[in-house]
Structures are given as C-alpha cells and as structure tokens.
A and B are shown apart, each in its own frame.
Chain A
Amino acid sequence: MTLETEVQSLRQVPMFKDIDPARLKLLAFTSERVQFAGGQRFFAQGDMSDAAYVILDGRAHVMLDTAHGEIKVADLGHNALVGEMGILSDSPRSATIVAAEQTTALRIDKRVFLELLAQFPQIALAVMRELADRLERTNAQLAAQSKA
C-alpha cells in the first residue's frame, strides 16, 4: 500500500472529498500509517486528543464507558474517519476506539492537521462544510425524534 492508495482512501472520506489531490497527498504524506493488533486501542475515552485516524483496512469498535461498564455503540469500517472532533474542539476523547481485528489506519497528527487548516482555506472550508452538514443532520434527527 502506498501513498496513492491512501489518497484514494482519504478521498472516500466525506470531509476530504472536495480537496485537491495535491493537498490530499500532502495530508497523507504528513500522516503516519499505523497498524493496530486486534483488541489494541486507538485511544481511550478521556485521553488527550492528539490525532485523528482514517481506517484504511480492518474494523474498529466505538466503546463508551457507562455505569454498567464499557458498551459498544458503533462499528467503524473501511475509510471511516474517527477522532477528528476531538482535535478540532481540543476536547478529551469522548469514546474509546478498539481495533476489532488487525487494522491499519492513517494517523493524522493534530498539530500538522491544524497547520494544514491554517495554511489552506480550501481544506478549512471542506471541514466546515462537513461539520455544518453533520449539524444539519443532527438537527433533522432531533426534529424527527420530537415529532415522533
């Protein structure tokens, strides 16, 4: 797997889909490709947010600490982006991510990501658009729930 395939993966991520190929390449190049063994944690709930991950290969579980112990709330698969909210809002991790099997992910360092945002308005706009979309979806869901 090379930089090119990573760029392909990044392109599948909604947040990055409109970004120039050259910029995506830079994002991939400045990131690290890391492998997690099955059961190894990407990060734990409450940790400092230092990076976001794009899953290139494999699967991961999203786990939440609750009063009844750790429960699985979601599954992440190919091309999923995780941990980006933490680095954008500078808040601790809101959930634990555990590799479900041997998983390869692209680790986007927080500092580098923020520098890219500062340097390229295009990337910043793409991120804003994605966040706005999410907000709208959440609003729609809330509206649907309150109707129900």
Chain B
Amino acid sequence: MEKSLFRYIWQHSRREQLLVCAVVLVSQPFYFFSLDLPRRIVNEAIQGQAFRDGQTTATFLRLTLDWPAWLGGGSIELFQGFQVGRVGLLFGLSTLFLVFVLINGAFKYWINVAKGALGERMLRRMRFQLFSMVLRFTPDALRTVKSSETATIIKDEVEPIGGFIGDAFITPAFLGFQALTALIFIIVQNAALGLMALAVIAVQFTVIPRLRRELLKLGRERQLASRELAGRIAEVMDGMEVVHVHQSQSWEKAEIGHRLFDLFDLRLQIYNRKFMVKFLNNLLAQMTPFFFYAIGGYFALRGTLDIGQLVAVINAYRELPPPLKELIDWDQQRLDVQVKYDQVVQHFTPERLLPEHEIETVEDVPLVGTMQAKDLVITDTHGSTLIENVSFEIKLPAHVALISDGAAAASSVARIIAMQVPSFSGSLLLNDHDLRLLSPSIIGRRLAYAGVDPIMFPGSIRDNITYGIRCKPNGNFDAAKREEVRRIAEALRTGNPVESISSDWLDYGLVGAKDADDLDRIMIDLLNRVGMERDLYRFGLAGQLDPERYPDMAGRIVEARRRLRVTFQANGMADLVEPFDIHRYNDQATIAENLLFGVPTSEAMTGRNLAQNTEFRRTLDRAGIHDDLTEMGLQIAETMTEIFEGIPPGHSLFQQFSFIDADEIDDFEEILRRHARGPLTKDDEIRLLGLPLAYIEARHRLGLLDNSLRMRFVRARGLVREMLEFGGNPGVDFYDPDKLCAAAPLRDNLLFGRVSYNIANARERVAQAISAVVGELGLLESIERIGLDHQVGTAGRLLDAQQRAGVNLVRCLVKKPDIFVLDGALTSFDEGRAQMLIGVLSEVCEGRSLFMVLPNDRQAEAFDILVRFRKGRVTTEERHPTVLGKSGVSEGERMAGGVV
C-alpha cells in the first residue's frame, strides 16, 4: 500500500476531489455577496444612502460588467435593474439576502454529500485492499498476527481515515477560501481592523499546533492499547476452556482491569490537553471581537468608519472563527489520521504478505505425469532442518502413503505437495514445470488438502462442502436491474470485485453434476460413503422442510405421516405416540403447545414471551383459564423453590430440569411470600403465567391438570387461534393433519404427535418405525438433502469432531482433485473407521492421485507406493507394480537424501 496517506488519497480520488474543489470555488462569489448584503441593507435601505439627493427611487438589481483599466476601462450594462422606492429596496435587498442564504445552503448540501460519498468510497477501497492483503498473509505472519487485531484495524481503525478522506483536500480549500474571503472583506472595509484579525489568526496558527503535538503521541499510544485490548479479549474468548479449567477468572479480570485503567489514563491525559488547547483557542478567538468593538467603535465615533461598515465587519468576523477553528481541527485530524494510517500500513508490511497473484486465465492442465522432487530442504520456524536434500520421483496418478516415523518430515513433504509450504528450497516439478509457478486457479480446482483441523465456516453442511467449488459466478449477473448497475458502477469506482455473491458460484462441471439437485445427490453419496449416513439422516429429521424449495415434498411427508399412523395401529404401537388432535388435550406436549396448537414462528410467541403478550392473556381470561394458569404457576414455583433449594446456581440439574433459572429462584420466593400476604401484582401474575406454559403433564407429573381443565384448554384453542389470526400475521404455524407444518422439524411432521414419555423405549421404537416408513416411501434421499441444510455453527462447533472431519473429506472429494493430500485428516476416527475410510478414499480417488501421511504400515495396504520416512532416511517401495504398470518407481529404489 502507498506509504503516504495524501499520495494514496490523491492517487485514487483525484477526479472527485478536483470536482468538489471546483464547486467550492464557484460557490465563493455567492458567499461573498451574502456577506456584503447586510451592509447594503443597513446603509442603502435603512439609512437611506441610496436616496441621498432627494431621489424617490433607486436602482435595484442593476448588473454591470466593468472592464479593468488595462483593457481600456469602461463597462457593459447587463441588466438595467428596477426602479424601486425605499421600502421596495429594503424588501428587495432582504429577499436577495434570503436567496443567497438558500444558494449557499444548497452548495453546502451538495458539497457535504459529495464529500461523504467520496470518503466512503475511499474507505470501501481501503478496507477491500486491506482484506485482500489479509488473504495474502504468509503462514509465518499468521502465527504472529492476531485475527481480532486485524479485524479491529479493518473495521474500526480505518473508519476515521475514511471520514477524513472526504475532507483531505476539500476542507482546507473550502474553509481556507471562506476564511480568506471573510478576511479580505474585512481588510477591504478597514485595513487596520483586517490586520488586527490577521495578527490574532497568525498567533492561533502557530501556537495551537505546537500544543497539539503531544496529543498525537498520546492518541497513538491509545490506539495501540485499544487494539491490544481487542486482541486480548479475543484471546480470552478463544481460550475460555482453559480459563474455566484453571479458574483463572480473577487473574483475567485483573489483567483486563489494568488495561482499562491504562486506556482511561491515556484518555484523561488526552482530555486535559485537548480542552486546555480548546480553552486557549476560544480565548484567542474572543480577543478579536473585543478589539473590533473597542477600536472599531472608536473609529466609528471618530467618523472614519461608518456604522454599516462596522456591523458588516463584525458580521464578517463572526463568520471567520468557525472556518479557522475547523481549519485547525482539520490540521489536527490530518496528523492524527496520518499516524493511524502509518500504523495500519505497518500491520500489512510486504514482508508479511505473499506475492500478489495475477488472476489470469490460463490453460487448465491436469496434474498428472512425473512428479519430481529435487533436493528438498525444509526448515521450521526456529530454523532447524526438518528435511534435507530429499529427492524422489513418482509417476502420477498414484496412491502414495507417506509413512511417518513420528517426526514432522512426512507432514512437511505432504504440505509441500499440497502447496501449503510456500518457502522451501529445492524444487518440486511436475512434467518439468515448477509446481510453485502453477496458477492458483489450477491449484484450487485440481488439488485438495485435508489437514488435522477441519476448518468450517458458519453455514450449512452444503455450504461448507461446496466451498471448494465456488470458482466464479455462473453466467452474467442481471445487469438490467438498476440496483445491479449501481452496484457494479460503485465496485468499479472503488477497485472492488464486480461479481455478485447472489449469483450461483458453483462449478457444476468440475464436480460432474448437471445441476444443483445432481450436486446434492453427489454430496449425499459421498457423505454416505465416508460413514455419515446416520448423521445426515438425523440432521434431516431435525431440520425443517422449506416447502418452496421442495414443493413436492410436503405431500409426501403428509403421506408418510398417514402411513406411519397405520403402522403404529397395526403393530400395537398406537400408544407410543400421542397424536395432535384438535379436539383432545395432548398430555405429552407443553401447555403452550396445547393452547397454540402449532409451532411459533416469531420470537414473541416463543416460550415465556407468550405470557408477556397482552392479547394472549386477555384471550386466556376470556377462555376462563387465566386464573387456573396463574394458580398452576404458583404451584410450580412452590415445588421448584422447594426441591431445588440448596443446589448451587449453574448446576447442571438446574439447566436440565428446573422451570426456573437459578438466579430467578429468589424472585419467585419473593412472589410466593407476597402471595401469602395478599393479592399479586400484574407483573407477578405475568411471571407466574410464564411457568406452566412449559409444563408437560406426562413428563413433570406435578398433577396440575384434571379433565375439566384439559377440556377448557382445548376449548381455548379456538379463541387463541382467532386472536392470533386477527392481525393477519399469527406468528404461529398451526397444526393441520393434512398439511405440512413448515416451522416444525421434519420428525415432528412425520409423527404429527409427541412420543410418550411414559412408555419404556418408546423413542427407539418410534425411531425404528419412522426409519422403516422412510425406507418404504423412498424418502431417505430427500431427508438427507434436508440434512445438508444442517447448520454447522461457528467453526463447526455444532458438529462433533468426526462429523467435521467427514465434511472436510467430502469437501475435498467433491471437486474430484487430481491430487488429494491428506495429513492427519483421519485422526479423529478410531483405527477401524480410519481403515474403512482409507478404503473408501482409494476407491473414490481411483485413477487420480492420493497422498496420505500414515503413522505406520498397518493402514498402508491400499497404497501403490510407500514412502518411508525413518530416522533420517527416505525409502520407497512399490506395492502393486501390476496395477501401476509402467509408471511406477521400481521396487526398493533408494531415494537420495536424508531426513533430519
């Protein structure tokens, strides 16, 4: 990035800056006229100077153009003006004043908007450039650079720079002009007063910046300190587990507290200095009016200065300090921002970055042929040698096992082959071409690497698997749309990419899929093969069906629902599931669910929030169950406070069983005491009402429901539904035996009821029945497809380690890489499963190359070539010469070099 901020700004926004400057210039005459008008109003109209010689009318709006003397002098009358009386002149001039005010305002508006847009565009460009550089951080730099600090830089630290960019050239131009205009005006009116103002300004401009230098130093320190604070907070967050294990909260708190004190102290010093400077500045600014009133008034009394002039001078001077102050502020901001910019640039020094890749269209070449490593030397970060002078030659495609002796050598070679170690000496050639010079687009398409840590981005399993085949958007974006045109124009103006993320980026050809459906099938097949069939099925059952995306599924699910019911009836399993029946209370479901008879789709209808809803409470009252529910709330509160007494807050029993959070126990005890003394307040009633909403008779068994109450709950359903549907947007997806309930998980849609809590092993038996019906109706693939929508969470935390590893493998396999390198990608699996996966991998990668780091020979059965890294020596062995035919390395051939 450009080292100097001003050069950077000039380079990228020259045109706009000049345009705005030009507009500023054009606006100045209007500004000058608006300064001059008050004088004319007072002198000509009010004091009547224009009517001095007994004239009853004066000329208004006469426009003349005077020639300068050196062009011969003379003048041309452009407009002869109107002849107006005294009052007419007053109103005419006043109106003119108003017009100028409007014109000046309009100029200011345009300039401000243009400046803002300019700054924001530059900010966008800068952020994008910084992010592009983030993508180019070297592995070494990534070890030292904290991600949160980098995020802070891109998000927060450049923000003031962006704000400043709009002002970088324009503000000094605009304010300078304004100040100069006002100053010249004053000088024209009275040279002495003008010089006086000038003298005070000179003092302001020399003293104040000096005082502010210290401020900058403090500002810089504070910037670094707050950046480190952000980094530290992220560190603690990431290491929360260790903090909890060692209970080091106090230390962490003290550490952060200390940093906060430092920040406070720095800010206090800044304030002290800043406001002192401000005080001085104000004092100097107020000195000048004092001179004007005293000396200007003296001149006026002596008659050397007319009153109109004095008023105009004072008026003009009132206009002078703001621009001056802002100019000084601008200067301060300039220094400040320059400091910030320097530090941002420092964070992204070229030494930390990989060379920039030119994105060019290169001919796609398959990665097959002779792979030749010559004298590979790799050193680790501490400078000790991992590999020294290793050479080998392998004909690709081949399945190669890199058998490690526990040291990092095998891994390093794997990473080199996968282009993950940028710096090594020696050479790695494919058909005599250096692999390092391979175009990134070919590497992306034809090479895959799976390491120990499967990295997941938040999103669905599908998003994560297709991550590797998002090469470029398919087809042209909809350029006809106005929004789209604007988006592209802005992108081009700011050096941003023009591709739209809303286009379809998936490279179906690479995968060999016809369309998205086909791709889904391929992904499901691969996931099944790596042993995630059960997981995917479970995710699918827990997922929701989007009827718009799968229009024909809804009917099939309802069909399966009927079939399942028939199966239950036929096999004597009818009592395992209590179906949703509009006419019957469901003992296996919560009271809220029974009342709504549906699944909430809005937050306001979920859980205890329902009790906050005034309309809902009113409806309960109308149904005559409000007081019953409150009474139930009391009983629940009583039982919970009794049985959970003495259990420490945060205990897992609380989270698992209690209706009441640990920190609410005291509140409810208080409510119970209040209830013993007298009637409850409305707030108390609402809180109590929230408790029974989650009550499930069959599960919690507090014996709160009798048949008459059940009947009344069922009757209340109608009223509740009426109330909810009244507004048009019920916030609840109601149950209907013949329709899909889109808000409910697929499993609930199939069951259309609740599994009984009271029957032993009901869940397992029901699951088996579902599985059988799903198989019969051929719904498995559709359910697995919904399973692909399962969210993996931040860093894939919603998946377990094996699922993450499985998704990672499929992500690599789906793009059918010519070379697939695995280094520890199977560590989360036990040996049996790993062995199975190796079989699957060599099957899927048939005819393509597979490099895999293995801890020992046991799993190496399926490989063509074994490369052993043992005690400083590298040997190869060809296992299936017949399979490999002519392309193998001959048996027992020694590879030159050693491993250290």
Inter-subunit contact A120/B758 (CB<8 Å):
no
The interface residues of chain A lying within 8 Å CB-to-CB of B700 are: 3, 29
Query: What separation, in Å, do the CA atoms of A120 and B647 have in the docked complex?
Result: 9
Assess whether B642 is in contact with A25, with CB atoms less than 8 Å apart.
yes
- B643, B648, B757, B758: the one within 8 Å of A26 (CB): B643
Q: Does A142 contact B (CB under 8 A)?
A: no
Q: Write out the residue numbers on chain B whose beta carbons fall within 8 Å of the beta carbon of A115.
A: 651-653
The closest CB in chain A to the CB of B657 belongs to: A30
Give CA–CA (A120, B643) in the complex, Å: 12
The reply to whether B643 and A25 form a contact with Cβ atoms under 8 Å apart is: yes
- Tell me if B702 is interfacial: C-beta within 8 Å of chain A: yes
Distance from A101 Cβ to chain B, minimum over Cβ atoms (Å): 14
Question: If A6-B701, A29-B700, A120-B646 touch, does A36 touch B758 (CB 8 Å cutoff)?
Answer: no
Decide yes or no whether A47 CB sits under 8 A from chain B. Answer: no
Contacts of B639 in A (CB 8 A): 3, 25, 29
Given the known inter-chain contacts A26-B643, A26-B644, please indicate yes or no for A33 contacting B652, CB distance below 8 A. Answer: no
Contacting A32 at CB < 8 Å: which of B645, B648, B702, B757? B757
Residue in A28, A35, A116, A119 whose CB lies within 8 Å of B758 = A35
Expressed in whole angstroms, the minimum distance between the Cβ of A119 and any Cβ of chain B is: 6
With a cutoff of 8 Å between Cβ atoms, the chain B residues found around residue A107 in the complex are 760
Known: A32-B757, A40-B760. A3 touches B646 (CB 8 A): no
B383 at interface, CB cutoff 8 A: no
Question: What range describes how many residues of A lie at the interface?
Answer: 20 to 34
Separation in Å of the B890 CB from the closest CB of chain A? 53
Tell me the smallest distance from the CB of A4 to a CB of chain B, in Å.
Answer: 7
| CB–CB A34/B760 < 8 A | yes
Provide the A16-59 mask, 1 if CB < 8 A to any CB of B, else 0. 00000011011011101111100010100000000000000000
A112 contacts B by Cβ under 8 Å: yes
Bound CA–CA A3/B651 (angstroms)? 22
Q: Is the CB of A22 within 8 A of B643?
A: yes
Q: Smallest CB-CB separation from A5: which chain B residue?
A: B703
CB of A145 within 8 Å of the partner chain: no
Q: Judging by beta carbons under 8 Å apart, are B758 and A33 in contact? A: yes
CA distance A29 to B660 in the complex (A): 14
**What residue of chain B has the Cβ atom nearest to residue A27's Cβ?**
B643
A110 to chain B, nearest CB (A): 14
Q: How far is the CB of A131 from chain B (nearest CB, A)?
A: 23
Q: Is A146 an interface residue (CB 8 A)?
A: no
A2 beta carbon closer than 8 Å to chain B = yes
Chain A contacts of B760 at CB under 8 A?
34-36, 40, 42, 105, 107
Residues on B with beta carbons closer than 8 Å to the beta carbon of A25: 639, 642-643
Check B676 for interface membership: any CB of A closer than 8 A. Answer: no
Q: Mark A103-120, 1 if CB is under 8 A from B, else 0.
A: 011010000100110011
Within 8 A of A (CB), among B652-696: 652-653, 656-657
On whether the beta carbons of B651 and A119 are closer than 8 Å, the reply is yes
| B759 CB within 8 Å of chain A | yes
Docked complex Cα distance between A38 and B758 (Å): 15
The answer to whether B645 touches A22 (Cβ under 8 A) is yes
Quick check: B657 and A29 within 8 Å, CB to CB?
Answer: yes
Residues of A contacting B699 in the complex (Cβ-Cβ under 8 angstroms) = 32
Interface string of B751-770 (1 = CB under 8 A from A): 00000011111000000000
Shortest Cβ gap from A108 to chain B (Å):
13
- Alpha-carbon separation in the docked complex, A105 to B642 (Å): 24
A71 shortest CB reach to chain B, Å: 23
Which residue, A26, A42, A104, A120, has most C-beta atoms of chain B within 10 A?
A26
Interface residues of B, dominant DSSP: loop
Q: Which residues of B are found within 8 Å of A120, using beta-carbon distances? A: 646
What is the chain A residue whose CB lies nearest that of B762?
Answer: A34
Please tell me if the beta carbons of A2 and B702 are within 8 angstroms of each other in the complex.
Answer: yes
- Nearest neighbor of A118 in chain B, beta-carbon distance: B651
A51 to B636, CA, bound (A): 26
- Give the distance to chain B from A115, nearest Cβ to Cβ, in Å: 6
Interface residues of B in 8-51 (CB under 8 A from A): none
The residue in chain A whose Cβ has the minimal distance to the Cβ of B644 is: A26
* A-contacting residues, B756-813, CB 8 Å: 757-761
**Once the chains are docked, how many angstroms separate the CA of A6 from the CA of B653?**
19
A120 to B703, CA, bound (A): 26
Is the interface on chain B under 10, 10 to 19, 20 to 34, or 35 or more residues? Answer: 20 to 34
**Which A residues lie within 8 Å of B702 (CB)?**
2-3
A106 nearest CB neighbor, chain B only = B701
The CA of A4 and the CA of B887, in the complex, are separated in Å by: 79
Q: How far is the CA of A112 from the CA of B417 in the complex (A)?
A: 51
Quick check: A34 and B703 within 8 Å, CB to CB? Answer: no
Closest to B760 in A: A34
Q: How far is the CA of A22 from the CA of B656 in the complex (A)?
A: 18
Q: Say which residue of A2, A35, A116, A119 sits within 8 Å of B759 (CB atoms).
A: A35
Closest A residue, CB atoms, query B702: A3
- Interfacial chain A residues near B645, Cβ < 8 Å: 22
Chain B's nearest CB lies how many Å from the CB of A93? 15
| In contact, A4 and B643 (Cβ under 8 angstroms) | no
Q: Which residues of B contact A1 (CB under 8 A)?
A: 701
Are A34 and B643 in contact, CB atoms less than 8 angstroms apart? Answer: no
Give the complex CA separation of A3 and B758 in angstroms.
13
Chain B residues whose C-beta falls within 8 Å of the C-beta of A28 in the assembled complex: 701
**Residues on B with beta carbons closer than 8 Å to the beta carbon of A30:** 653, 656-657
* Contact (Cβ within 8 A) A22 B701: no
A104 to chain B, nearest CB (A): 8
For B758, list chain A residues within 8 Å (CB). Answer: 32-35, 104
Please tell me if the beta carbons of A22 and B642 are within 8 angstroms of each other in the complex: yes
- Kindly identify which residue among A2, A33, A40, A112 contacts B653, using a CB–CB cutoff of 8 Å: A112
**Nearest CB to that of B572 among chain A residues?**
A37
CB distance from B505 to the nearest CB of A (A): 46
Distance from A112 Cβ to chain B, minimum over Cβ atoms (Å):
7
CA distance A25 to B641 in the complex (A): 12
Contacts of B644 in A (CB 8 A): 26
Task: Give the distance to chain A from B745, nearest Cβ to Cβ, in Å.
Answer: 22
Task: Encode B691-720 as 1/0 by CB contact (under 8 A) with A.
Answer: 000000001111100000000000000000
User: How does the 8 Å CB contact mask read for A62-79 relative to B, with 1 for contact and 0 for none?
Assistant: 000000000000000000
**Contacts A22-B645, A119-B647 hold; do A33 and B657 have CB atoms under 8 A apart?**
no
Q: Which of B653, B656, B657, B699 has the most CB of A within 10 A?
A: B653
Q: Closest Cβ of chain A: how far from B121's Cβ, in Å?
A: 59
Residues of A within 8 A of B657 (CB): 29-30
CA distance A40 to B643 in the complex (A): 33
Cα of A26 to Cα of B653 in the assembled complex, Å? 10
Hey, which chain A residues are within 8 Å of B757, CB to CB?
32-34
* Distance from B130 Cβ to chain A, minimum over Cβ atoms (Å): 50
- A4 near B653 with CB under 8 A, answer no
Residue numbers in B under 8 Å from A26 (CB-CB): 643-644, 653
Binary A-proximity of B626-654 (CB < 8 A = 1, otherwise 0): 00000000000001001111111001110
Q: How far is the CB of B728 from chain A (nearest CB, A)?
A: 42
Q: Chain A: which residue is nearest B703 at the CB level?
A: A2
- CB-CB nearest in chain B for A103: B760
Complex alpha-carbon distance, A1 and B648, angstroms? 30
| Bound Cα distance from A6 to B757, whole angstroms | 16
Contacts A25-B642, A35-B758 given; indicate if A3 touches B653 (C-beta within 8 A).
no
Residue of B643, B651, B700 with most chain A CB atoms under a 10 A cut-off: B643
Q: How far is the CB of B476 from chain A (nearest CB, A)?
A: 58
Docked Cα-Cα span, A6 to B701, in Å, equals 9
Q: A40-B760, A112-B653, A115-B652 are in contact. Are A33 and B701 (CB under 8 A)?
A: yes
In the assembled complex, the CB of B723 is this many whole angstroms from the nearest CB of chain A, namely 32
Interface residues, chain A, with chain B CB atoms under 8 Å away: 1-4, 6, 22-23, 25-26, 28-30, 32-36, 40, 42, 104-105, 107, 112, 115-116, 119-120
Q: A3-B700, A3-B701, A119-B646 are in contact. List 8 more A-B contacts (CB 8 A).
A: A22-B642, A32-B757, A32-B758, A33-B701, A35-B759, A115-B653, A119-B647, A120-B646
What are 14 residue pairs bridging A and B, where the CB atoms are less than 8 Å apart in the complex?
A: A2-B702, A22-B645, A25-B643, A29-B701, A30-B657, A32-B758, A33-B758, A34-B757, A36-B760, A105-B760, A107-B760, A115-B651, A119-B647, A119-B648
The 5 lowest CB-CB distance pairs between A and B, nearest first, are A2-B703, A26-B643, A34-B760, A25-B643, A36-B760
